[in-house]
Homo-oligomer: A and B are copies of this chain.
């Protein structure tokens, strides 16, 4: 029995079925909001919701019973993730005061796409692994933002648009400038206050662009060096074998010269 469940839970059609159901369900949920159709199609959506809930419970059960030792199921982070999503969205609080929140909660069912498709799991794992490598980038950007924000909220405090009114607003404004979003509007306004304000903005744009560009290059080069390390291992193995060959040859030569 466990074997049957195991076979089902690892089969491609099972994961594809789940993906299809989630996407269809997501579109229906989106469509519901779109067409304000809750009144007319309210019942239909209620039943679809019901069916999807049942499918989710069945799907997770199959995967649960596919485990030889049941507690192993909870050893995988992704399984716990699925379990929590299914559990939360199954609780029947639809008719209670929390109905609106419950409806929003159902949105997170779309997250099950990640666990239903192994390729997506890999991408997410890769993204999570990439987080520590950006800690220092974030720190460096924080330093630059921080210095510019404090100086900005000191010099441009009197700006009418209030874009440098306080530290948080200044940080937001700098982030906006980083994305090049209407950054000249801010600059032109600041230049009316102080004629040389362009130095502040241009230097910020150039410094952050330079930092981000170099860190981008650094990430690519870093990844390539990891790849090359493997190649270097291969080459050093070659060298070892050639060295061995040489020692054999020298033995031969000695043997002959005897």
Determine how many copies of this chain the complex contains: 4
Separation of A118 and B249 alpha carbons in the complex (Å): 49
User: Distance (Å) between the CB of A98 and the closest chain B CB?
Assistant: 13
Verify if A160 is at the interface (C-beta below 8 Å from B). no
Identify A150's interface contact among B33, B149, B231, CB under 8 A. Answer: B33
Identify A149's interface contact among B30, B224, B239, CB under 8 A. Answer: B30
Asked whether A234 and B237 contact (CB < 8 A) given A242-B242, A255-B256, the answer is no
Verify if A54 is at the interface (C-beta below 8 Å from B). no
Verify if A10 is at the interface (C-beta below 8 Å from B). no
Q: Which residues 195-245 of A have a CB within 8 angstroms of B?
A: 198, 202, 205, 210-211, 213-221, 223-225, 227-228, 231-232, 234-239, 241-245
**Do residues A104 and B151 form an inter-chain contact, with CB atoms below 8 A?**
yes
Asked whether A176 and B168 contact (CB < 8 A) given A150-B29, A232-B234, A241-B239, the answer is no
**Do residues B126 and A214 form an inter-chain contact, with CB atoms below 8 A?**
yes
**Do residues A246 and B243 form an inter-chain contact, with CB atoms below 8 A?**
no
Verify if A67 is at the interface (C-beta below 8 Å from B). no
B residues near A30, Cβ cutoff 8 Å: 146, 149-150, 167-168, 171
Separation of A146 and B104 alpha carbons in the complex (Å): 11
**Do residues B184 and A182 form an inter-chain contact, with CB atoms below 8 A?**
yes
Identify A248's interface contact among B127, B224, B246, CB under 8 A. Answer: B246
Separation of A183 and B221 alpha carbons in the complex (Å): 32
Separation of A255 and B223 alpha carbons in the complex (Å): 49
Verify if A251 is at the interface (C-beta below 8 Å from B). yes
Which residue of the partner chain B has the closest CB to A168? B34
B residues near A185, Cβ cutoff 8 Å: 182
Which residue of the partner chain B has the closest CB to A183? B181
B residues near A142, Cβ cutoff 8 Å: 23, 113
Identify A107's interface contact among B23, B104, B135, B151, CB under 8 A. Answer: B151
Verify if A120 is at the interface (C-beta below 8 Å from B). yes
Identify A184's interface contact among B110, B143, B176, B211, CB under 8 A. Answer: B176
Verify if A44 is at the interface (C-beta below 8 Å from B). no
Sample (18) of A-B pairs whose CB atoms are under 8 Å apart? A30-B167, A33-B167, A34-B166, A107-B150, A110-B146, A119-B136, A124-B140, A175-B202, A220-B223, A221-B227, A238-B238, A238-B239, A238-B242, A242-B245, A245-B245, A249-B252, A252-B253, A255-B257
